[in-house]
Amino acid sequence: MAFAQEQTLERTLWRKLEPQNNANFMPVATAQLLAAAQKGEIKAYTNESKTVQVSPETLAQIAKGQDCTWEIKEKWIFERSEKKLRYEPSHLSVVSSDGQNSVVFDYADFQTMLATNPAFQWTNPHTNTTMLLAEAMDKRLFFSRIVKSSNAR
């Protein structure tokens, strides 16, 4: 019984941010994020291993798209002993509208950039209040759908 109380449940999730987010932040934030990557302010990679950086041509191709999709890969961790659920995002992918091109950002780098750049804003259209996008992402105010999951153990 003691083992069950100390056990940690862990699962890896891939979340696709839903279109409902577009009115709040996605088109503007996508353009700002890709522009920052083109300027070298944040590293952009070709895949989840984050070993090869994306070419400027690929970034430009994705930036031309109007309706990019965001996907977040994260660990979902439930600590039984603390009865607490926490999330550990590892990366953010921006996928072009045609699905042909994608770019991967380290989530920690992404959060740091959001927290230090006041241009990244989240606006609630119902109350006309704004906050930094980093805070909105931490509070998980975005709509998302789980598109893939796997057990870590």
| Confidence bin at 2 (pLDDT 50/70/90) | very low
DSSP state of 90: E
In a domain, 3, yes or no: no
Is pLDDT of 21 > 70?
no
Q: Which domain holds residue 125?
A: 9-151
In a domain, 2, yes or no: no
In a domain, 1, yes or no: no
> What pLDDT sits at residue 20?
66
> In this predicted model, what pLDDT tens digit does every residue of 82-104 receive, in sequence order?
788 888 999 999 988 778 888 99
> At residue 67, what are phi and psi to the nearest 5 degrees?
-120, 75
Model pTM above 0.75 = yes
Q: Convert 10-37 to b/e letters by CB count within 10 Å (16 or more is b).
A: eeebbbbbeeebeebbbeebbebbbebb
Residues β-bridged to residue 64? none
DSSP 1-39: -HHHHH-EEEEEEEEEEPGGGTTTTHHHHHHHHHHHHHH
> What pLDDT sits at residue 24?
60
In a domain, 4, yes or no: no
Q: How many domains does the chain have?
A: 1
Is pLDDT of 1 > 50?
no
